[in-house]
Structure 1
Amino acid sequence: MRSRYSAYRLGLGEYLYQTWHPETRGELTPELLTESGLNSEWLSLEIVYSRGGPDDERGEVEFKARYKVQGRIQQLHERSLFLRSQGRWTYHSGQFSPPKIGKNTSCPCGSHKKYKQCCAQRRA
């Protein structure tokens, strides 16, 4: 996720295209992704939650990215699904403004603990 954020900041459309899962690229092109990244001033990235490691085939990242467009600061809050494709992590899809993970709900990391006793402690 951090590398894709950096690629948006730098306008590296080819990298963004290569790290986008082929199943969900649709009409995207490296040129469109370059333009998209360069038309915004990317200000910050906060990783809220992540799951998936080197041996996994799927992972999730919830993040908040702040950016400025036409003088207005915006925030993109998304929970993204990443899948391995040809051995590399690729962005597949995302849910904008995902529901908040409650402290007493099961932890989304897959453990059998409550969120407050698991991943929420790692964030503190």
Structure 2
Amino acid sequence: MTPLLVVLGAAVGAPARYLTDRLVQSRHATGFPWGTFTINVVGSFVLGTVAGAATSPAVTALVGTGFCGALTTYSTFGWETVGLAREGRRLLAVLNAVGSVMAGLGAAGLGLAVGTTL
């Protein structure tokens, strides 16, 4: 049953990532990967909330592993950061790397706090 829950969560998370990225990027013409940044921060918050809420293993598999695993994307974050550096936009690359890690950790911590109050 657990693998099915992971698949179901991922079936929602992956299209949500694509659609959110397109929506956010269409509103920002700065060259900064706001779509991936937003997705990863939101996913960190959701995962922190799930972890803090001490949910059932089924909810953790569905939302934590399936949905958040398919929604968030470390590989795209890495690819976009390297791409910015290769384009000579080193400041944006550093801001993306440091900002993504700091915002992701902060969002996960906030989610953990919210989850523990639920």
TM-score, scaled to structure 2: 0.23
Name the one with the larger strand percent: 1
Greater RCO, CA 8 A, separation 6+: 2
* Structure with greater helix percent: 2
